[in-house]
Amino acid sequence: MFGIVTLVGAIILYTRPEKARGWGITILVASAVNLLFGMGGLLASLLGITGGALALAWRPPGEGGEGR
């Protein structure tokens, strides 16, 4: 179940990057639940947590940071 949520979240992140913050949190939570309850495997959970964290850290071009 949570693996499907993670997969759908990744697809939506790819197609609608402006929703990165909300779907990043969703992916992080789903992957953490998979990790805690052992439903999705260790590697899948770690990759999901990494992807969710990257989604939260990502900013669209022109929204601060380097000023390019």
Quick check: is 34 in a domain? yes
**Model confidence band, residue 25 (pLDDT cutoffs 50, 70, 90):** very high
d(CA 11, CA 59): 18
**Model confidence band, residue 45 (pLDDT cutoffs 50, 70, 90):** confident
The H-assigned helical ranges of 1-68 are 2-15, 20-37, 42-57
Quick check: is 66 in a domain? no
Quick check: is 29 in a domain? yes
Domain count, the chain: 1
Quick check: is 67 in a domain? no
Please report the pLDDT score of residue 64 as a whole number. Answer: 60
Of residues 43 and 62, which shows the higher confidence score?
A: 43
Quick check: is 68 in a domain? no
**Model confidence band, residue 3 (pLDDT cutoffs 50, 70, 90):** confident
- Whether the pLDDT of residue 61 is over 80: the answer is no
Residue-range definition of the domain harbouring residue 19: 2-57
